[in-house]
Structure 1
Amino acid sequence: MSHYNFYLRENYVNSNGKSPILLRYYQDRKNRIQINTKINISSRYWSKAKNSLKNSSEIPEEVKEFERIRILAETIVNHYKSNHKELTKEKFKQHFLKNDLSEFSTQEVEFYNELDEFILERTDQVVADVIKDYKSLRKHLLAFDEFNKSVMTFESIHYEFYKDWTTYLANHATKRNGEVGLRNNTIGKQVKNLKVFLNDRMSSRRIPPIDLKDFKVVQEEIDHIYLDDNEITAISKVKCKKNSVEERARDLFVIGCMTGLRFSDLIRIKPDYIKNGLLEIRQKKTSKKVIVPLRKRAAKILVKYDNHAPQIKNYDFNRVIKLLGQKANIDETVELEHKKGNRKVITKYKKFELIGSHTCRRSFCTNAYLEGIDTQLIMKISGHKTEKAFKRYLKLSNYEAALKMKEAWGI
């Protein structure tokens, strides 16, 4: 089956220490063609896992050009697929070198061209996680096209499409781990991002008005765990080899539970941000400045790293912290309930299986609340804008809620 991918030719390095990115198109298993994109980068900006250029602010021009070339290649391939035509390697190269999308001015290309352009426009305006969400939207729309044997156009977006698409997402969409069917909150995020895209195109008068009032963004309260102080202490006492990934994950986790910072902010801590026992940092997600008093446990760990955050990738952190939770015997059984469509699904986990980077922030907020610290003070530190948003982070058990009420009533 025809497809394309990108490849960094690391065995060739020019005088500037950069290697070329190559585009490979596979007509089938035996026939392929290789094209130099004329983008040269240092290998540190290349993701081998994704065969893709990292979205780094250090190389904005290369990121934009890579995205433009990706859009061009995907448009060519999708056009031939949707029209059930064979795309030979010679035709692919011919189209690619012409660098012209005008001959693909069909409705389906128009829709995805607009979506691709929207994503490209947002690259310098929003954080990388948001761009990842927009690309996820694109993936699910293309998969719906394939499943439904249809072609996505702006004219096809109406309430019947909304019902068909959300039903597909709930029952047929495939997740990265191979599991079929998305949860309601994930579907809600897809709908929200589709509306963001469409409203942007309508506001700029690039497309005619579309009635989106019945495109509901479904949200449900999700059960998440938090760790109490004893559990955090248990993880902090797990023995790790010096300078190991386990040690860095353990230390960063404790700092996170003591400060309430998101992972994207935690990892950026450096000496300039620490003054008079306070950690001052501008949040990457919101650009809002927060000031966090450094508790002794966190300050002591940071001194160990010369007041820099211990460095670890988010993926490795989430993987390793679960293993540390297991070693700390945080293994009580937890039941979580969520919805897929109209079905309630209850899944049992060991508590350590649910520990991740978000556990830090939830643990900080919940423990501070249980200690009797005023909600508004906690929000100033956590950076939550509204009490409603803040209270979604509170993960009190029924028992803890009862104790809190008992304390308030003086009984």
Structure 2
Amino acid sequence: MAEELDKNYINNKLDDLQYQLNKKYNSLIEEQIIAVNNEVLIDFCDQFFKKTKGQTENSTIELLPFYDWFIRNYSVKPLMSSSKPLQKGTAKTYRNAYNILKRFNDTVYRVRYDKINYEFYNDYLNWLYQQGYSTNYVGTQIKILKTIMIASHELGHHNNTECRKKYFKKPTEEIDHIFLSIEELERIKKLDFSDFKTVKTESGVFITKDKMDRARDLFLISANTGLRVSDFNKLEKDNIITVEDKKYFQLTTKKNNKPITIPINSTVIEILDKWEGELPRKMPEQHINYALKEIGEKAGIDTMVKITRTNGGIIETKEYKKYQLITNHTGRRSFCTNTYLSGMAAIDIMAISGHSSERVFYNYIKANNLQRAMKISENKFFS
């Protein structure tokens, strides 16, 4: 008799599940809130059997489905925090982070809101390091996961606040990124590419004489303005204003939407004159990076540099020729460091570079201890 009662209970429960599952499926298809896949439906079934009074159907949007929805939704709609959509590059970073967490979910154990705790934090960190990721890349994964957890909490999908605790911190590591001195930048500026022979990179990109010339000039603009590649690579003639015979770049930065005005120095004036008042035509970021390695080698920027990084939890120190480390971002870092060493006030440099905090700004200052001491010694206190 007991078996018969259990059978009736189970069948009734399954009938109810089928009804609720069909209802949920039709609702998701109609509203197009999230992509309907096995993960979503499995989570719904789990929630159905664990559901308690007072829960709403919205609580069935578990962590991974919400993560996916968050990226797709806020790639086109304004975020609550910034009132603007995710930038294309940021959305790509979020998507990569989602895919990594999904891989952990599929190969280690399922990730749910109620699983995000101290044990998960350590498990996920260890797994990320085992994949060979650098400390700062691992930190990015934790930072984005915290963002997703907080957003889903604010929208009422869970009550887990573990990610706000002190232990749930983003691992960071200071990397000895390079900068180019005024003298090294001058060597790049004086390069002649008239005899340069086209080279083909390992990825199949052809670096021509024209690309070398444009990449050099774009990089020098960055090194003399502090602009990111996303900004210096889209400058146009309309961004130039003249006030009392002095020229300035006036633009709104792409990353943080800040309006900035930057004085144009003699090096950039020469570049503008060379291109008949126009800006060098923009190039794909990776093509600039490829060209910069060639440019640095041709300029003889080949001193040996030791770089220490933590990859997969293992500290590694490697030696590189300096030109091998030059990238688009080296220009911005060089600007911040060279202006700092010249005696320019940090607050004035930040007004140009667009940094919002001194902590982040000083990470860009790559002067060594002696260079810092020499700059400090010029203060009247030490006179």
Q: Do the structures match in fold with TM over 0.5?
A: yes
State whether structure 2 residue 188 is matched by structure 1 residue 235: yes
Take 1:329 and 1:146, find their aligned partners in 2: how far apart are those partners? 49
Q: Write the letter of the residue equivalent to 2:228.
A: R
1:142 to 102, 123, 128: 102
Q: CA deviation at 1:111?
A: 3.0
Q: Any idea what SS the aligned residue of 1:392 has?
A: helix
2:111 is aligned to 152
Partner deviation per Cα, 1:68-91 (whole Å, 9 max, x = no partner): 89x84xx64xx3xx8xxxxxxxxx
Cα RMSD (Å): 2.4
1:117 is aligned to 69
Take 1:281 and 1:243, find their aligned partners in 2: how far apart are those partners? 30
Take 2:360 and 2:157, find their aligned partners in 1: how far apart are those partners? 34
Q: Any idea what SS the aligned residue of 2:254 has?
A: coil
Take 1:352 and 1:113, find their aligned partners in 2: how far apart are those partners? 44
Q: CA deviation at 1:209?
A: 2.5
Q: Is the 8 A contact 1:268 1:309 kept in 2?
A: no
1:87 is aligned to none
2:5 is aligned to none
Take 2:335 and 2:378, find their aligned partners in 1: how far apart are those partners? 21
1:304 to 274, 294, 303: 274
Take 1:168 and 1:102, find their aligned partners in 2: how far apart are those partners? 27
Q: Is the 8 A contact 2:134 2:312 kept in 1?
A: yes
Take 2:285 and 2:45, find their aligned partners in 1: how far apart are those partners? 40
Instruction: Write 1 or 2 for the structure with the bigger share of helix.
Output: 2
1:168 to 124, 127, 135: 127
Q: Any idea what SS the aligned residue of 1:308 has?
A: coil
1:203 is aligned to 154
Take 1:393 and 1:103, find their aligned partners in 2: how far apart are those partners? 47
Alignment size in residue pairs = 310
Which structure exhibits the higher relative contact order, with contacts defined as CA atoms closer than 8 Å and separated by 6 or more residues?
A: 2
Partner deviation per Cα, 1:368-398 (whole Å, 9 max, x = no partner): 1111111111111111122222111100023
2:248 is aligned to 278
Q: CA deviation at 1:250?
A: 0.8
State whether structure 2 residue 143 is matched by structure 1 residue 192: yes
State whether structure 2 residue 217 is matched by structure 1 residue 247: no
1:389 to 360, 367, 377: 360
Provide TM-score, normalisation by structure 2: 0.75
Take 2:248 and 2:318, find their aligned partners in 1: how far apart are those partners? 41
1:5 is aligned to none
Q: Any idea what SS the aligned residue of 1:215 has?
A: coil
Provide TM-score, normalisation by structure 1: 0.70
2:51 is aligned to none
Partner deviation per Cα, 1:335-368 (whole Å, 9 max, x = no partner): 1122346543212111111111110111001111
1:332 is aligned to 303
Take 1:160 and 1:102, find their aligned partners in 2: how far apart are those partners? 26
Q: Which of structure 1's runs of 4+ aligned residues deviate more than 4 A?
A: 101-104, 106-109
Take 2:370 and 2:192, find their aligned partners in 1: how far apart are those partners? 32
Q: Any idea what SS the aligned residue of 1:196 has?
A: helix
Q: Write the letter of the residue equivalent to 2:302.
A: D
Q: Write the letter of the residue equivalent to 2:295.
A: L
Q: Is the 8 A contact 1:258 1:298 kept in 2?
A: yes
State how 1:42-81 maps to structure 2 within 5 Å: 72=35, 76=37, 79=38
Q: Is the 8 A contact 1:236 1:250 kept in 2?
A: yes
Instruction: Write 1 or 2 for the structure with the bigger share of strand.
Output: 1
Q: Any idea what SS the aligned residue of 2:126 has?
A: helix
Q: Is the 8 A contact 1:162 1:215 kept in 2?
A: yes
Q: CA deviation at 1:410?
A: 4.4
1:34 is aligned to none
Take 1:147 and 1:336, find their aligned partners in 2: how far apart are those partners? 33
State how 1:207-218 maps to structure 2 within 5 Å: 207-212=158-163, 213=165, 214-218=167-171
Q: Is the 8 A contact 2:341 2:372 kept in 1?
A: no
Take 1:385 and 1:274, find their aligned partners in 2: how far apart are those partners? 24
Partner deviation per Cα, 1:286-311 (whole Å, 9 max, x = no partner): 11111100011112213434433431
Q: Any idea what SS the aligned residue of 2:219 has?
A: helix
2:291 to 313, 317, 320: 320
2:231 is aligned to 265
